[in-house]
Structure 1
């Protein structure tokens, strides 16, 4: 089938596009190649598949309404995997307008494209950050996520609500995926594993927030990709209805709409994560211990029961395997 994948120069988007091409799908990739982080890395990701048969690249911004309308009108994708967004929890404090432009206005343009061109299924990226002030573990899609603690999380929560409204009003089958701390080869330079690896190899100190005591459901990128593709193939039935007398955030009483967590069920303490990295690098980290950052939550833990029951998959790559794979890629890519 023909799939529009937004964010194909990004970390997760590039992996998803490559997997779809490998299984024989036609991919229309879209990215604006912004300079939030190293554009050279983004271009290198694209270079892995940009010349493959079945791939078409569009250089455009989600917030450009005319460009998005042209993309849908000219390419008419059957399904959409929307992964492009302004990333980074902390960056929003300095650049809030970028987040609303990309993550809210840009998402509206995706929804409108799906509405007017008969898209069969929209799968879009949300985040575990939407759980915010909720401290009931493990995080379940069936529990409240009404109190996000950062603007980034608030824009993703808005995406979930916008998608539900379009699913209800226009019958667009939509699935939101809440990702939990994704890491792996070709990762983002602003994320912990990348920052730690670079600093340790350079003999520089690493900043360890909350004194390394918080836990995360670190999720390897291949596990995320598998979850994305399986949910893309599992279209929420238009005729299926749930009990609207008992509203459930994970499903709906009135629309073909679902939410799924995609995260490792075994959370790992940050200090343990650093120990695994030290072992893979063969070097000890110099740690600067700091308090928890504003907006950060102490712990995350994914409940993936629904993902297992609906698409038959659970994330399974251990941090030992995943971090080793990242370090191998990092040394090869940066020749260190």
Structure 2
């Protein structure tokens, strides 16, 4: 016995069907991601904590780079909070104008390196300085900030011979050029065989600053070990620029057009202020970078498997 549906019943059924389709699509997407993670070869450092370093670049004028470096550093600090990670500042050298020369932080938590490994590289900023000039006199200034992401592994111990170190001490400086204290508590360590230099001035204790500087030095030396083996992990780190080669920009923050562009995946985000909050917008971009890298790694994995079968 057939029962004809009236318009009201048909609309309700159609609504239920659309809602059910939405739920099924979400379940399919979740299963797709789980299958993807199972198939894609995992990076052996994905679960590691990281040392994050930022260095201000050069600009066509003003303090664009220093202010931008500070904004980027605070963005990652907020992102760590968003991901419930621990963010410990190891070094922070501000400028007299309120910007940031360079800084370093240790970020620890769940899969930190997995999420931050593609943030290493040159970040470019384009903006008009807020200096009170008339619109006719204002010009677009371009600057950069270099970001370095170093994985920390508890499984690998980097042995450093004390004879290979030159340790210097100096007075720590805070914002505005004021001394944090009157003693030479800040520490700079140079690894003589490699020329790697680190420094720390966050603590009032010289010993604590030395310990944190050694921690950063170990991470940098460990990164060199990784770079020697980079051919083995080339596919899973394709989007990550080499630590010592920061010549190519990975992302542009265009304040004039209120747009962030990641050049590796041609992905754009509107609303720079929201992006710099280091929350959902940044997390979405990082997720897309991960998906792109994992897809390339999966394709390469399948190609290698086919080559193995054909060769066998």
Q: What is the TM-score normalised by the length of structure 2?
A: 0.25
Q: What is the TM-score normalised by the length of structure 1?
A: 0.24
Report which structure shows greater RCO (CA 8 Å, sep ≥6): 2
Larger Rg: 2
